[in-house]
Amino acid sequence: MVVVMDLRASEKEIKNVKKRLEELGFKTHLIKGVERIVIGAIGDRTQIESSGIETLPGVEKIVPIMKPFKLVSREVKAEDTTIRVKEFAVGGSEFGVIAGPCAVESRKQLLETAWLVKKAGAKAIRGGTYKPRTSPYSFQGMEEDGLALLAEAGNETGLATVTEVIDEKSLALAVEYVDMVQIGARNMQNFHLLKAVGRINKPVVLKRGLSATIEEWMMAAEYIMSEGNYSVIFCERGIRTFETYTRNTLDLSAVPVIKQLSHLPVIVDPSHATGSWRLVGPMAKGALAVGADGLLIEVHPEPSKALCDGPQSLTPDNFSNLMNELDSVARALGKIINKERS
């Protein structure tokens, strides 16, 4: 259920309604939008129907939400959510680009990449520090040393920093170093981790699972938001199908579906979706065209020497060229990629 408050409701009236709902056993979530103020009430809706909540001062109406995802739903918040960290913004008219290597390998590699992607127009750098790999013999990441390098790169360049967390231990370390955390495809339904991420005060990039339906993906976001963290960014990264010519099958149709159902921003990862640097550009432009709010792109100074996912990584020159092309497309669609060029 959603309790819609009058826009003129006082803080005292809002607090009184929240208090009454909690007395009835509801878990409450206050969401302030431009068009309305709502209090999400999670619990037995029959309790509200007989409680007299609708008669309390400041209450406009009570609206039932029939979908299984509540806080994620556009029924709770009509306007798009924009998430901001440093100069990075995703949502609304902002088109946020996150770029960087699949894995942090060295200080030289990361800082060089950070300055190059910043020059090209990216506002955030990504770098894996804990790598959940299919083979136990593959490079597993630099862990805390890599996190320290990401923090250094962010401090030097002003870029927002993003890294994947794989469990509660890596999460506890990551929040001390980076601006945003990422939940990878393999952990999309790691519900204990989702709850833990819901208790931090940092944005979360939530990747779609390998075989997850859109509803399952949205319910994963609901786990995070139900714990109080409302800064969730969906990331479509392709799903597993029978096709073998690409690493995964990039489901661009998921972008407008999510945009219809949810107020949260959606970005696309064409690098992991296709597995080939030659396909990253076309799919990145396609993502922008169908309404995505941003991109997550792998860039490496020397892809042939990368310890992880070299074949899908763009060189700095290729990334710069792509950003120029995207800037033109974005302008035609009323989006802003790099305010410095606008």
Report pLDDT digits (tens) over 257-272. Answer: 999 999 999 999 999 9
CA distance 39 to 24: 14
Per-residue pLDDT, 75? 86
* 32 and 88 belong to one structural domain: no
In a domain, 72, yes or no: no
* 95 and 57 belong to one structural domain: no
In a domain, 69, yes or no: no
Per-residue pLDDT, 291? 96
Strand order in 59-63's β-sheet?
A: 27-32, 37-42, 2-5, 59-63
Burial 328-341 (b: 16+ CB within 10 A, else e): ebbeeeebbbbeee
In a domain, 73, yes or no: no
CA distance 306 to 282: 23
In a domain, 8, yes or no: yes
* 30 and 98 belong to one structural domain: no
Is residue 89 classed as helix, strand or coil in its secondary structure? strand
Output the domain CATH number for residue 29. 3.30.70.1140
Q: Which residue has the tokens 């709502």?
A: 38
In a domain, 77, yes or no: no
Per-residue pLDDT, 51? 76
Domain of residue 96: give its range. Answer: 83-341
Output the domain CATH number for residue 194. 3.20.20.70
Q: Which residue has the tokens 């076309």?
A: 282
Contacts of 309 by beta carbon, 8 Å cutoff, 6+ apart: 102, 103, 271, 272, 298
* 14 and 145 belong to one structural domain: no
* 29 and 157 belong to one structural domain: no
Per-residue pLDDT, 342? 38
Give the pLDDT means over successive 10-residue stretches in the chain (342 positions). 86 90 87 82 73 86 82 90 94 94 95 96 95 70 92 97 96 97 96 97 97 97 95 97 95 97 97 96 97 97 90 96 95 80 40
Per-residue pLDDT, 38? 87
| Cα within 13 Å of Cα(284), Cβ side | 33
* 96 and 49 belong to one structural domain: no
Distances in whole angstroms, Cα of residue 305 to Cα of each of 113, 269, 289, 318: 14, 21, 33, 17
Long-range Cβ contacts of 284-290 (<8 Å, 24+ apart): 284/322, 284/326, 285/325, 285/326, 285/329, 286/252, 287/236, 287/252, 287/255, 288/95, 288/326, 288/329, 288/330, 288/333, 288/335, 289/329, 289/333, 290/252, 290/253, 290/255, 290/256
Per-residue pLDDT, 340? 52
Contacts of 278 by beta carbon, 8 Å cutoff, 6+ apart: none
Quote the number of domains for the chain: 2
DSSP for 180-235 reads EEEE-GGGTT-HHHHHHHTTSSS-EEEEPPTT--HHHHHHHHHHHHHTT---EEEE
Model confidence pLDDT, tens digit, residues 4-30: 888 888 899 999 998 988 888 888 888
* 24 and 127 belong to one structural domain: no
Per-residue pLDDT, 76? 87
* 32 and 94 belong to one structural domain: no
Per-residue pLDDT, 337? 87
In a domain, 70, yes or no: no
CA distance 41 to 98: 34
Per-residue pLDDT, 341? 43
In a domain, 68, yes or no: no
* 99 and 213 belong to one structural domain: yes
* 162 and 292 belong to one structural domain: yes
* 117 and 52 belong to one structural domain: no
Strands 37-42 and 27-32, sheet pairing: antiparallel
CA distance 132 to 194: 16
